[in-house]
Amino acid sequence: MKKTRVDRKFLELSKQGKKGFIGYLSAGDPNLEDTVDQVLRLEDAGVDVMELALPFSDPLADGRVNQEAATRALEAGATFDGCMNCISKIRERSELPIIYYAYMNTLLARGFDQSIEAAAQAGIDGFLLLDLPLEEAKPYRKALTQNALNAIQLVTPTTPDERIQKIVRQANGFIYCVSREGVTGVQAEIATGAGALVARIKEKSNLPVALGFGIGTPEQARDAAQLADAVVVGSAIVNAFHNNPHTSEGRANAAAFVKRMVDAVKEI
């Protein structure tokens, strides 16, 4: 498979000896036009890769902040086609690596293969499919491979070593290491076992490992970057854009908050 923007970005970071910063937003929160501006501002703030969530009514892996973001996006009229158009508009101005954070229902509803092809044509680089079990993944991974998209895989603290081995064999791009049990959301500190889990993954894969779930301050981002190849920050970014006015100045303030976390990661 040819290298995606995600692959090239992690190769670039490795050559530079730098850690990566992955940001997260829900597409369509507060609307799809603002999402385009938010993503471009985050790129200017130094974010290396973006996760954009396809809004879904029952996001089981997400905590309150990201659930509410998905609800706001759906209420604002975000549709599958609208989200694809959002990616196309970003691609008119940016080559920032972007992956979709998605639940299977949103893709199966219109035909999985057709959904993946539409996303690839819009300019997406890969998918993190939250509720696709390893045992059922093979036919769906085929569509990702055929469209030269990354298949980002999750490993959690409760994943046994034998299963980690099977998961990383199906992965490319990077491995998403979930730092703690439970759902997304800012926490007071990095989970105690996060470093050991990253080490377990690295024993079985040469792919970059990104550590996420619960990271919301520059200090936490710096601590996480010392453990993994990249840091994922979601709820804190969603909150920053939601709690600031939905104006150019408000989005600039939110991006400045994210830049402080990016800068902390880049100090490592």
Query: Higher pLDDT residue, 112 or 185?
Result: 112
The SS3 call for residue 106 is helix
pLDDT surpasses 90 at 183: no
Query: For residues 13, 19, 21 and 22, what is the CA-based torsion angle, rounded to 10 degrees?
Result: 70
Domain range for 240 is 5-266
Whole-model pTM: value is 0.95
List, for residues 184-208, the tens digit of each pLDDT value: 444 445 667 889 999 999 999 999 9
Q: Provide the domain count of the chain.
A: 1
Give the pLDDT score at 187.
47
Which residue's entry shows tokens 């890769």? Answer: 49
> Could you list the active site residues?
51, 62
**62 falls in which pLDDT band (50, 70, 90)?**
confident
The pLDDT tens digits for 217-260 are: 999 999 999 999 999 999 999 999 999 999 999 999 999 999 99
171 has a pLDDT exceeding 90: yes
Q: What angle do CA 224, 228, 231 make, to 5 degrees?
A: 55
Q: Which long-range contacts (CB under 8 A, 24 or more apart) does 75-79 make?
A: 76/28, 76/29, 76/30, 76/31, 76/32, 77/28, 77/31, 78/27, 78/28, 78/29, 78/31, 78/32
Task: Give pLDDT tens digits for 88-102.
Answer: 999 999 999 999 999
CATH number at residue 101: 3.20.20.70
Residue 25 has pLDDT above 80, yes or no: yes
Q: What mean pLDDT value characterizes the chain?
A: 94
Residue 185 to residue 78: CA distance in whole angstroms: 23
